[in-house]
Structure 1
């Protein structure tokens, strides 16, 4: 599993998002989903970061599930279609999560 092309970024995404999802990270300028609205208000910070972190966790876990079901055999596996499947399985849910985060940060 560790040989999958986006394994490390997916794991890091999940690990960095867990403290945000649990509400352990106070408002700051270095770590978290930092939008103007989130930085202006504690309630907005926690709402945006909790919801956004869950989007990031789900997208990372989705990629790991795809990589487990349709694994690449290793670096010598140059099947471009399989690599594209892995790329889309990593990027597409992440982009959907980012759209959701943007929507949350614009809500009143």
Structure 2
């Protein structure tokens, strides 16, 4: 039985931190502020936009974290250091996907006006 690679352990810790910070956003528990959440001009324009955009981001990040753990488990990349680069790519994708989802929704919101 192989032990978990150190890099995967660190990436997993980062993923869990993302999950812990994403869930309050997904459930609309974070009030508008300048430190935590998606902080762009649109989200500061009104509270409804703040909660809408941050909910989208929170759920997208939650699903990305679940996907990260699912893919690494299904592909068994967590057990071997030879997969460090692949795990890192999956981790970066986990961060990029929710960001791109929010960019898409913000762009689409601007088009609807």
Instruction: Calculate the TM-score normalised by the size of structure 1.
Output: 0.83
1:60 and 2:65 equivalent?
yes
Q: Does the CA contact (< 8 Å) of 1:59 and 1:97 recur in 2?
A: yes
Find the counterpart in structure 1 of residue 28 from structure 2: 23
Structure 1, gaps ≥5 residues long: none
RMSD: 1.9
CA, structure 1 residues 92+52, in 2 after alignment: closer, same or farther (shift >3 Å)? Answer: same
1:72 and 2:78 equivalent?
yes
1: distance between equivalents of 2:5 and 2:58?
23
Find the counterpart in structure 1 of residue 18 from structure 2: 13
Q: Aligned-pair distance for 1:89?
A: 1.6
Structure 2, gaps ≥5 residues long: none
Q: Does the CA contact (< 8 Å) of 1:2 and 1:8 recur in 2?
A: no
Q: Aligned-pair distance for 1:84?
A: 1.8
CA, structure 1 residues 2+78, in 2 after alignment: closer, same or farther (shift >3 Å)? Answer: closer
CA, structure 1 residues 2+11, in 2 after alignment: closer, same or farther (shift >3 Å)? Answer: farther
Structure 1 residue ranges (4+ consecutive) displaced by more than 6 angstroms after TM superposition: none
Find the counterpart in structure 2 of residue 90 from structure 1: 91
| Greater share of residues in helix | 2
